[in-house]
Structures are given as C-alpha cells and as structure tokens.
Structure 1
Amino acid sequence: MAHSTATIDMGDPLRPYIPPNETPEEKKKRIQHEKLAKKHSEAIDRQLKAEKEEKDKQKDAKLLLLGSSESGKTTVLKQLKIIHGKGLEAERQQYRRIVYINILTAMKALTNAVTDLGYKLKIENNQQHLEKFQKLTSIKESLNCNSFTIQAAMKDQKLDDDALDLYREHVDSIKALWNDPTIKKCYNSASEIGLQDSAKYFLDNIDRISKSDYLPTDEDILQARVRTVGVAEHKFEINRTIYRIYDVGGHRSQRHFWAPYFDDVDAIIFMAAVSAFDQTLEEDIDVNRMTDSIQLFDTICNNPLMINTSVILFLNKIDILQNKLTFTQVKDYFPDYKGNNKFSSVTKFFQQQFLDCFESEDKHTYVHFTHATDTKQMRVIVASVNDIVQRENLRESGLI
C-alpha cells in the first residue's frame, strides 16, 4: 500500500498571527493589543538589561572563616548579621535555650571546681544547692543530648522545653551559689576548670534572664556559646559585593572538612583567641590552645592551595586578655616570652608568633586585634576587611 504525507504550512512562528476574514474593527483592536504587548516586552527587556548591568557591577567574594574551637568565629557571623544582614530577630527565640544551657553548664563547672579544689562554701545554706548540682552527671546527659550544636539548638523544640524545665528547676540554686564567695573564688580559676568566657556575663544577668517573658537581647546572643559542626555557608552584601563566607567547625574532629573549601578563595579570616594562652583544648588537655592555634595557622598559610590567598588574622578576645593579664603571667605558659606582662607587649609577642609561620615573604597578611562581641568595633573592622578584599581583587586584576 502506498503511503502519502501531507505538509501543513505553519507559517513563520515569529510573525504575529492574523485571523482569516478579520474585520476592520478586529484589526484595529489587534494592532492596539500588539502595540501594548510590544511596549510591555520592551519594558521587560529594559528591566532585564538593567538587572544584568547591576549584577555585573556586583562581584562575589569567597571567604573562609577558620580557627580553633571557641575562637569567636560564630560571634563574627552574628555581628555580620547585625551589621550587614537581617539582624538576629529570626533566631532570637531559639537562642533562649542556648542561654539557659550556657548558664547551667557554667554553674555545673563551678560546683565541680568546689569539690575538685577541696573548697568549702562560705554560706552554709548553699550546701543543699551544691549537692543539687552534683546530682547532675552533666548538662548534656541531663538533657539527653550527645552534643550541643548550632544545628540541634536551633531545630530541636524538645530541647527548648527540656532546657527551660531544667533551668527553672535549678535557677534558685544558681542565684544562691553565684552569691557565695567560694564560687566567685572558683571563677578566678576559669581557665583551669574549662569555664566559658561568657559565664560571668550571664550569671551577672541571672535575674533578668529568669523572668517569664525573657527573650535574648542582641548582646545575649553575641555572648552565647554553641558549637559549630560541619560547614555552613552565609551570604552578605557589603558595598555591592556579595560575600560567601564559609564557617567550619574548629574542633579537631571537624578540621577534615576544611580542605575542599580551600580552592578559589579570595581571602581567609583566621581567628585565634589571644586570651587562651593559659588554656588547653577541650579535646586534648595536654595541648595549649594558643600553641594549637599557631600550629594550625602555620599549616593553613603554607598549604600549597593557599599560597596566593590573602590572610586576615583576627587576634580575638582582647577584652578577656586585658583582664587576665592582671592576675596571670604569660611567661608561666610561654617560657620564651621575655617581655613584661602588659597588654601591648603581650599582643606584639603573639602577633609575631603567628607572622613567623609564613614561609613566603610575599604573603599578604593583615592583623586585627578584635573584641568580637563589641558591635561598634566590629563595624570598623568589617569595613576594613571589605577594603582589603577589594584592594586584593584589584591587585590580582593588575589594576594597582
């Protein structure tokens, strides 16, 4: 059987469709409609062109935020949300549970120290409160948690309820114990007992935090401590530049996540707690935290993938360092230190310890002494970091 095929003339698909037997009135309406459609199309084209030009003006910058655990990386990200983001409102409610956990953890460490150091409470009635805390094996176990992380603290509603219940159960004991001179004496051994830097801040504000309608302030959130696990990407726009900042956990068990992010980085912000010269790692009590930071800095800066990457060094927690130097000698922990125990000499010494790590003299390095919980200071430093990144981009482009 023979087959035949028929070809249907579809016309030019780009030409406007003209109905057959079109009346003059229909033609007039069609032409008006086509004019409006063309005008609308041209407006869209202009908008797309403007958006493209605007996007071309904007540049992306990729930054890695690195450093040992508890160096202040998360605090810097909170500051960026305040200064160049949408603020902290979206996470305010969730940080309430973190504040409660921070306070419980602090008092647990202090009461453990009373026993470990062989002290006796000055206020006799506080013994019952001490015994109440001693019944807690740990705050994590009391809340049935394996670990406190940003992810868990933000998502687990049950953790919120459990933390509130545990806090309310112990708040009277916390208030009573914080007023005991022996507990204050234990606080002076904060570095030895693993007490968080923000412990005094929260314990001094215990009455405000204990109110039924309590909601954390920006300062509370900046002071709150919670562990980062894995890698988190954060985007901020600063002076027409989109910054992609990657925050990675500083705990030793988390550092294997770092390497894949070393490629195509505009700059590294490395954070070190300069106040941690008398502390040891939580994961290894035989390793000094400052020594660990310096060794980590050495490894990163001399990594082959980082040879041409600018480094911005934040020597953080200078406020804590200044206070600590009034009663702790740096030379007791760093015998090579020969200067006096004054802030200027100590910071100069530690800055040089980091700068001596560089194997290449051509490395572009910028150093800032920071107080990451101070928003006013961080505004200035963030602006400086933006200038540094832009200047380095111009240098790479051969424009300067």
Structure 2
Amino acid sequence: MPARSPPVSPVMPEVNWPPIPPPADSELDRALRLEEEKEAKKRSDAIDHAIELEREEMRKQRHNTKIVLLGQAESGKSTMLKNFQLHFAPKAFQAETEAWRAVIHLNLVRSVNFILDLLRGGTSSGSNRFSPPASLDDLRPLRMRLSPLRQVEIILVKRLSVDNTSRDAAGIDDSTPWYYGRASEVSIRSGSGWKALLCRHRQQLNSHADELVSARQVLDACRDDIVTLWSNPTVHAGLRGEGVCLQEQSGFFLDEALRVGHIDYEPTYTDVLRARLQTIGVEEHHLTFERLASRGEKWIFYDVGGAREQRAAWVPYFEDVNAVIFLCPMSAFDEVLLEDRSVNRLLDSFNLWKTICSSKLLGDKNFILLLNKSDILKTKLESGVSFVRYVKSYNDEPNDAEHVSEYLKRKFVSMHRHLSPRRRHLHVHITCAIDISVMSAVLVRIREVIIMKNLAATDFL
C-alpha cells in the first residue's frame, strides 16, 4: 500500500499595502492612482477628525450645567434668562440690546393701537363702553394723528418675524383686536435668529434698514400724541370699564413714551428686562460666564413655552438637566388663562407644580422655585383687590404682599414635600425679575446651589 502523502498546507498570500501596482502601470496611470490614494487618505483623515471633534464636544456637553425654565406663559421665564445673561455674561447681553429696541418699540406701539381699537368699539362685548360720546368726538383728531402707528406695527412685526410673513400670518388681525383685555403679541418661533437678523439690518444699507429707520421716525413724531392719549381720563375710564390694566401687562412702556419713542433712543438694561416677545417652542440658550471667578463656565438653558398646547414639549428636557427653575407669577391670582378662561392662573400654577414635583424623571434634580412678580402683587393688593376672594383657603390673614407671599410659599413647599418621589431640597425665592439689584443676589445664590449639587454628584464633596 503506497504511503499516504502528507496534506499540503495552503499557502497564504503575502499581504502588501499599498497594493502592488499592475505590471502594465504606465507613468500616467501611476500618477493618477497615487493622486486618488492621496485624496482617499485625506477624506479618511477628515472623517476621523470630525468623529474626534464630535466625541470631544459630547465630553464637554456632559460637563455643562443644564437648566430648564418652567412655568405658565408670562410667568417671567424669559426675563429670568435675561437676568442670568446680564449678571454672568454682561458683554454678550450688551451686544444684544440694540436688537431689543425693535421689540420695545413694538410693545409700545401695540399698546397704543390696542387703545385705539377700544376707542373705535372693538371690545369684548362688541359695544363701546367709552362715554360720553362727546368725549370720543374730542379724541377723533388724536386718533387720526396716531393712525400711522398701524403701519409701524406692520413693519416691526415683519422684521421680527424673520421670514417676512404677511401681517395676518404674523398674528395681527384687525377684525379681532380685543383679546380678553390684553394687548396682542407677536409670537416668534424658537431658533428664528431674529436678534442676528436685526443686527445685520442695522449694519447694512438696504430696504429693511430703511423701513426700520422710517418706523422710528414716525414713532418719534407721534410721541407727544401718545402721551396725550395715555393721560386722557376718558381713555382710562374706558379701560377700567373693560377690566383692562395695561400697567400690569408685560411689555408696558406707555408711561415712558417720550423717552422710548425718541429717534435716538437706546434701550437700558431695565428696558430689555421689561420687553415682551413670546417664543413658540423650546429655545436653547448657551451662556458662557465672563466674570473672573467663573470665566469660561458654560450653562445651557432650555426656555420652554408655557402655554397649554406647548407643555407636551417639556418632558424630553427633564432627563438630562441639572436643575429645574419653576416660576409662579403671584400677581396672577385674579386672572384666567388666555387659552382657557375657565381656569384661574394661580390654580394652573399649582397644578403644574404638582405635576413637576411628582415626576420621577426629576427625582434627583435641583428644584428652585421663584415666586415672581412681587411688585405687581403689592400694587394689586394695595389697590384693594382681595386675595381671599379668589383663594378661599387664605381665610382672615392680612391682605398685603408680605403675608400673601408667605402663604403661597407654604403652599408650594407643602406640595413639594408630599409629592416628591424622593427627599430633596427646595430652594425658594420671592422675586421681582425686573429689579436688577435684588435679582443679582438671587442669581448668585442659585449658582451656588447648582454648583454645590454638581460637585456632590461628582464626589468632590
């Protein structure tokens, strides 16, 4: 029997890189091939570099402090964010004040046009409560002189709306000027970049810039007439008859029409804090601290819409935040929601607070409660509005801002204690978000609380 031949081991081909060029490679082919290999290597390196940059950014993001601002519409969330910017990044805040001038002018013009609409009979009931009729006749020349402010409003809305939408699309409707006793607002979608756009218009010589200048000139020419309108007793009597108090609404500048309407007007920090512009959706704001002790520190704020139809957007921002700042407008105890007039605004804040406190996603987060608009609360109570009329459980306690504020503080603290899924600290401040000096101390304390919590979470404490 013949001997069995040993199995032949397969010979693995030697791997060479770069691959051996074909034997018939000409000089031209070789040059083209080498160029293609060079380009492929550059693309590969660029992809690797982009991936590394993305990883680095993700590492940085994990170390950024993230804060979500919660509360119903007009609770002061955007004003609170402006306070953070003013206190911790004053240079960036200063750079944006020019853009806010158009918003402040729009706030003023809309208040004037709101009054003019009431004068012509656009009230909640459809009837004109301004009386006697002779007084309205006396105001007719004044109304005619102020009529150019309609066009000023259209121009400002178009510039702020970024996409040059029409007047109707921007939310202005002459057929329904009266909206539950409130001057109408412009709503800007999140991420619209309106500040940058307005700054570009200021720097460029184009039709947009010319329109803004023309609008300012018209407003300047109408300043004295605005003052005359606002000081007229018939106007104030009619507003009271409709249950309207423009002074208590955000973005009120009628008392300073001469200054704000001047052609050379430059917004003050307080003006910017008082300016009102409603944002639809979730705005993400990046704040880089500029002060020496915290320079370079980065915080990310999520300013979410407070209207009922926007609250479903809140939940995705709960899981990855370091702190929740909840704002309750204390002065709203006698007001109702614009989107549902059967719901009291203070009761709505209570219900929102209960929902947030009981959220398991927020079980280990910092909770900071700001009982806001203490200035308006004080004015309202001193004018004779009874708190117990709207909040029966207040009983016979004094009808003043100090006692009402303490009562609300006890209510919110009690709800937090009973509804929280786990024990945690609650930090409460009674605030007036447009008072810069008072807010400075509050902001420093808020930063200390958040930093201490962050350090504890990373085992530094």
Report the TM-score, using the length of structure 2 for normalisation.
Answer: 0.66
Q: Structure 1 pair 132/318, CA: closer, same or farther in 2 (3 Å)? A: same
Q: Which residue of 2 aligns with 1:24?
A: none
Q: Structure 1 pair 184/255, CA: closer, same or farther in 2 (3 Å)? A: same
Aligned length: 350
Q: Which residue of 2 aligns with 1:331?
A: 388
Structure 2 counterpart of 1:176, from 228, 237, 240: 228
Give the % identical residues.
29
2:243 aligned with 1:230, yes or no?
no
Structure-to-structure mapping, 1:105-254, within 5 angstroms:
105-113=110-118, 115=121, 116=123, 118-120=129-131, 125-130=138-143, 144=167, 145-147=169-171, 148-150=186-188, 151=192, 154=195, 155=197, 158=208, 160=212, 164=216, 167=219, 171-185=223-237, 192-193=243-244, 195=246, 197=248, 202-237=253-288, 239-240=293-294, 241-254=297-310
C-alpha separation between the residues in 2 aligned to 1:285 and 1:141? 29
Q: How far does residue 135 in structure 1 lie from its aligned partner after superposition?
A: 11
Q: Structure 1 pair 188/78, CA: closer, same or farther in 2 (3 Å)? A: farther
Q: What stretches of structure 1 of length at least 5 have no aligned partner? A: 9-51
C-alpha separation between the residues in 1 aligned to 2:407 and 2:388? 11
Q: How far does residue 231 in structure 1 lie from its aligned partner after superposition?
A: 1.8
What letter matches 2:231 in structure 1? N
C-alpha separation between the residues in 1 aligned to 2:335 and 2:391? 12
Q: Structure 1 pair 139/260, CA: closer, same or farther in 2 (3 Å)? A: farther
Q: Structure 1 pair 199/391, CA: closer, same or farther in 2 (3 Å)? A: closer
Structure 1 counterpart of 2:444, from 377, 383, 398: 383
Maintained 8 Å contact 1:126/1:176 = no
Structure 2 counterpart of 1:374, from 427, 435, 447: 435
C-alpha separation between the residues in 1 aligned to 2:335 and 2:151? 21
2:96 aligned with 1:91, yes or no?
yes
Q: What per-residue deviation string (whole Å, max 9, x for no partner) do you get for residues 321-366 of structure 1? A: 1111112111222222212211121112222332233313723211
Q: How far does residue 177 in structure 1 lie from its aligned partner after superposition?
A: 0.9
C-alpha separation between the residues in 2 aligned to 1:255 and 1:162? 39
Q: Structure 1 pair 140/206, CA: closer, same or farther in 2 (3 Å)? A: closer
Q: Which residue of 2 aligns with 1:80?
A: 84
Maintained 8 Å contact 2:146/2:226 = no
Q: Structure 1 pair 111/153, CA: closer, same or farther in 2 (3 Å)? A: farther
C-alpha separation between the residues in 1 aligned to 2:440 and 2:423? 29
C-alpha separation between the residues in 2 aligned to 1:199 and 1:5? 74
Q: How far does residue 371 in structure 1 lie from its aligned partner after superposition?
A: 0.9
Structure 2 counterpart of 1:341, from 386, 393, 399: 399
C-alpha separation between the residues in 1 aligned to 2:270 and 2:345? 26
Maintained 8 Å contact 1:274/1:315 = yes
Q: How far does residue 384 in structure 1 lie from its aligned partner after superposition?
A: 0.4
SS of the residue corresponding to residue 339 of structure 2 reads coil
C-alpha separation between the residues in 2 aligned to 1:343 and 1:166? 41
Q: How far does residue 379 in structure 1 lie from its aligned partner after superposition?
A: 1.1
Q: Structure 1 pair 391/320, CA: closer, same or farther in 2 (3 Å)? A: same
Q: How far does residue 81 in structure 1 lie from its aligned partner after superposition?
A: 1.6
Q: Structure 1 pair 307/123, CA: closer, same or farther in 2 (3 Å)? A: same
Structure 2 counterpart of 1:65, from 63, 69, 93: 69
C-alpha separation between the residues in 2 aligned to 1:304 and 1:161? 52
Q: What per-residue deviation string (whole Å, max 9, x for no partner) do you get for residues 79-118 of structure 1? A: 2221111243322222122112111222333445565471
C-alpha separation between the residues in 1 aligned to 2:79 and 2:109? 20
C-alpha separation between the residues in 2 aligned to 1:335 and 1:396? 42
C-alpha separation between the residues in 2 aligned to 1:247 and 1:217? 23
C-alpha separation between the residues in 2 aligned to 1:136 and 1:252? 32
What letter matches 1:95 in structure 2? W
What letter matches 1:350 in structure 2? L
Q: How far does residue 131 in structure 1 lie from its aligned partner after superposition?
A: 6.9
What letter matches 1:129 in structure 2? L
Q: Which residue of 1 aligns with 2:408?
A: 350
Maintained 8 Å contact 1:75/1:222 = yes
C-alpha separation between the residues in 2 aligned to 1:392 and 1:189? 51
What letter matches 2:87 in structure 1? I
Structure 2 counterpart of 1:307, from 348, 354, 363: 363
What letter matches 1:301 in structure 2? C
What letter matches 2:227 in structure 1? K
Q: What stretches of structure 2 of length at least 5 have no aligned partner? A: 1-13, 19-55, 158-166, 172-185, 202-207
C-alpha separation between the residues in 2 aligned to 1:227 and 1:106? 15
Computed over aligned residues only, the root mean square deviation of the Cα atoms, in angstroms, reads 3.6
Q: Structure 1 pair 333/5, CA: closer, same or farther in 2 (3 Å)? A: closer
Structure-to-structure mapping, 1:261-340, within 5 angstroms:
261-327=317-383, 328-338=385-395, 339-340=397-398
Q: Structure 1 pair 369/230, CA: closer, same or farther in 2 (3 Å)? A: same
C-alpha separation between the residues in 2 aligned to 1:343 and 1:320? 9
Q: How far does residue 128 in structure 1 lie from its aligned partner after superposition?
A: 3.5
Maintained 8 Å contact 1:66/1:271 = yes
Q: What per-residue deviation string (whole Å, max 9, x for no partner) do you get for residues 6-26 of structure 1? A: 999xxxxxxxxxxxxxxxxxx
C-alpha separation between the residues in 1 aligned to 2:102 and 2:17? 72
What letter matches 1:212 in structure 2? I
Q: Structure 1 pair 139/7, CA: closer, same or farther in 2 (3 Å)? A: closer
Q: Structure 1 pair 354/140, CA: closer, same or farther in 2 (3 Å)? A: farther
Q: Structure 1 pair 189/231, CA: closer, same or farther in 2 (3 Å)? A: farther
Q: Structure 1 pair 189/384, CA: closer, same or farther in 2 (3 Å)? A: farther
Maintained 8 Å contact 1:105/1:139 = no
